[in-house]
Amino acid sequence: MHLPIGFALLAFALAVGGGAVGATLGTSHHRLCALISLGAGTLLGVTVFAILPEAFGTLHWWGLLLAAGSGYVLFALITRYIFHVCPACAASHFDEATTHRFSEISAAMMLALAIHCTADGLALAAGHEEQDQASHVNHSGAAAQDGTSAKRSRALDFSLVMAVCVHKVPEGLALGALLLGAGFAPRSALLRVSAVEAATLAGAALGLAFLRNANTVWLDGIVAHVGGGFLFLAKHAVAGEIFKHHKSLVLVSFGIGIGVIGGLTLLLRWF
């Protein structure tokens, strides 16, 4: 039961650590691009290799499409009408004029990022709950296919943790650097990064409170919904200006992220 909170704490610590670096030292666009693309690759990898296959085993195709599509559309709407849902994925849009206007847009940005972080925490809780249920079924004398299902759920849980934690580092870096560029003192910037990223812990706590012993269909639907949001983040991170600025760097880093998560997911399914 405490593992999702532990994973959320790890993700929170990585984001705050990245925020501390960004808030005190800033970061070069070139380095940030590499980290953003790596994180985006892990998000796409966990969606393609773990979330969608696991959810497809439970949901009808239309249910999977609806769940994933709703996550994608939600993040798209937030980005369009509130603020960029992820400062790392939208780093190339944060020019000098934007940072100087931060006092005018801070509330909208905090709201958008809080929703994003809550989804991260919820994904960690839902993925672990599904793995926990599959393990209990397998240990109770289930058939061989249930053992396979347990391996798939374990792979989903582990790859979700990896993807969330990896993308938290550039997320914190980008947010800390943005706040530093907006004129905030390092201490004040770090406090704001911590406040926003604490929503990850809130999402995990909500997941533990409401998803324990939930039906597998609901768990897969929630994970697929979060996966749709991950697809949006991955697309948003490598498209547009950031892709044009450092094409080779983006492609290599993005490919590494996909390959690492894909390889680990497949490995966990076999053993």
* Residues 29-50 pLDDT 10s: 777 778 888 888 999 999 999 9
- Average pLDDT across the chain, whole number: 83
In the chain, the percentage of residues whose pLDDT exceeds 90 is: 39
**pLDDT given at position 13:** 96
More confident residue, 237 or 117: 117
Q: Residues for the chain: how many in total? A: 271
More confident residue, 80 or 132: 80
DSSP string covering 40-96: HHHHHHHIIIIIHHHHHTTS-HHHHHHHHHHHHHHHHHHHHHT--S-TTTTGGG--H
Question: Using 50, 70 and 90 to split pLDDT, how confident is the model at 144?
Answer: very low
Question: In terms of Cα–Cα distance, which of 244, 168, 224, 140 is closest to 9?
Answer: 168
How big is the chain by its Cα radius of gyration, in Å? 18
Phi, psi torsion values for 200, nearest 5 degrees = -60, -45
Give the Å distances, CA to CA, from 75 to 98, 151, 154.
21, 30, 27
Q: How many CB atoms lie within 10 A of CB 48?
A: 18
**pLDDT given at position 102:** 60
Mean pLDDT of 129-156: 66
**Minimum mean pLDDT range among 1-5, 83-87, 142-146, 221-225:** 142-146
**pLDDT given at position 14:** 95
Q: Identify the top-confidence range among 52-66, 85-99, 235-249.
A: 52-66
**pLDDT tens across 179-197, in order?**
777 778 899 989 999 999 9
Mean pLDDT of 201-215: 90
**Minimum mean pLDDT range among 24-38, 198-212, 252-266:** 24-38
Q: How many CB atoms lie within 10 A of CB 129?
A: 26
Q: How many CB atoms lie within 10 A of CB 241?
A: 11
Handedness of CA 194, 195, 200, 206 (dihedral sign): positive
Mean pLDDT of 116-127: 93
Domain assignments of the chain as residue spans, ordered by start: 3-23+32-270
Model pTM score: 0.86
Query: Is the pLDDT confidence value at 170 over 80?
Result: yes
| Cα–chain center distance at 97 | 28
Question: Cβ contacts of residue 13 below 8 Å, gap of 6+?
Answer: none
Mean pLDDT of 240-245: 62
Cα–Cα distance, 65 to 172 (Å, whole number): 31
**pLDDT given at position 155:** 82
Query: Is the pLDDT confidence value at 97 over 80?
Result: no
Tell me the residue type at 139: H
More confident residue, 243 or 96: 243
Tell me the residue type at 253: S
Question: Using 50, 70 and 90 to split pLDDT, how confident is the model at 105?
Answer: low
Structural contact between residues 123 and 233, judged by C-beta atoms closer than 8 angstroms: no
Q: Is 118 exposed, middle or buried (0-12, 13-18, 19+ CB in 10 A)?
A: buried
Question: In terms of Cα–Cα distance, which of 22, 6, 12 is closest to 164?
Answer: 12
- Reduced to 3 states (helix: H, G, I; strand: E, B; else coil), residue 183 is coil
